[in-house]
Structure 1
Amino acid sequence: MAVDQLDTRILRLLLEQPRTSMREYARILGVARGTLQARVDRMERDGVITGVQPSLSPAALGHPVLAFVHIETTQGHLGDVGDELAGVPEIIEAYSTTGGGDLLARVAARDAEHLEDVIQQLNRLPGVVRTRTEVALRERVPHRLLPLVEAIGKAAGHARG
């Protein structure tokens, strides 16, 4: 779905001020509330906006160790292993990938021993051949979407001009 400059401005506000009301967003943007709501509804329908939930910190929840676990699976078992990963609460997210492994899981743990327990649990899953773990030392670029949204909006403006 293509977003235009107004969509970009809306997305920026949603990212920067997530607790603001639609009425206030409309006032800030200088558009009718109905226009704003129609735009937001369209972006939700098109999958641009995928949710409105708080951002939580695993570290503040007592899980400060962050690791990325590459998981190699036996041929034909990728889907089964992926389904099993959903049952491991310490896995924050997982993706099928190309390269050295079949899956990449982001794992939050209480400490090194807990991380080892989680990795051993993963290694025991049917269809898992081996794992390789990388522990994150320090976050260098936090999860962000605003620079991407702004670049898309800028490109939309240039395409019109």
Structure 2
Amino acid sequence: MESLDKIDRAILELLQTDGRLTGAEVGRRVGLSQPAAGARIQRLEKHGIITGYRAVVAPAAVGLNIHAVIRLRTTQSQLPQALSLATQTPEVVSTLRVTGEDCLLFDVHCPHAERLEQVVDSLARYGPVTTSLVLRSYPPKSLPTAPSTTS
């Protein structure tokens, strides 16, 4: 896809803030008609720039009262098994492969300490783990979009 222009970047910022905006409202805010805004949104989806829409759920509101970050240091040969386990563990909500001493970083939400212990122990089969409890989460920011070289 060609580089994003100023209007594409504005649309992305709006939809990252509120993915439920209608095409008409997006168009109004960026100065386009509803059909033109809808066409741009569809193009952004088609090119894999917008990959989906989702509800953001408050973990504590659904009984997930413990939020932790688990770092795992493993070997190349154990990496596929560790990733497979993370995929099969519902409490692991995201996984990052990172550089440095650790290999993987897991974002984990559990209902209680005993379940967190079970998750930590299951991941520890693949190498040393370090677990940090999250004291507070701050709202995520929108992803920046690289400025267009043509606008």
Residue 31 (str. 1) matches residue 29 (str. 2): no
Partner of 2:13: 12
- Equivalent-residue separation in structure 2 for 1:100 and 1:68 (angstroms): 15
1:129-148 paired onto structure 2 within 5 Å: 129-139=127-137, 141-145=138-142, 148=144
Secondary structure at the aligned position of 1:121 is classed as: helix
Partner of 1:112: 113
Offset of residue 47 of structure 1: 2.4
Offset of residue 31 of structure 1: 1.1
Deviating above 6 A after TM superposition, structure 1's stretches of 4 or more consecutive aligned residues are none
1:8-157 paired onto structure 2 within 5 Å: 8-124=9-125, 128-139=126-137, 141-145=138-142, 148-149=144-145, 152=146, 155-156=147-148
Offset of residue 105 of structure 1: 0.6
- Equivalent-residue separation in structure 2 for 1:30 and 1:101 (angstroms): 47
Identity of paired residues, percent? 31
TM-score after normalising by structure 2: 0.85
Q: How many residues align?
A: 150
Secondary structure at the aligned position of 2:69 is classed as: strand
Offset of residue 160 of structure 1: 4.9
Secondary structure at the aligned position of 1:13 is classed as: helix
Letter in 2 for 1:68: V
1:17-74 Cα distance to aligned partner (Å, 9 max, x none): 3322212322333313332122112221232211111111222211121111111223
5+ residue gaps, structure 2:
none
Letter in 1 for 2:54: Q
RMSD: 2.1
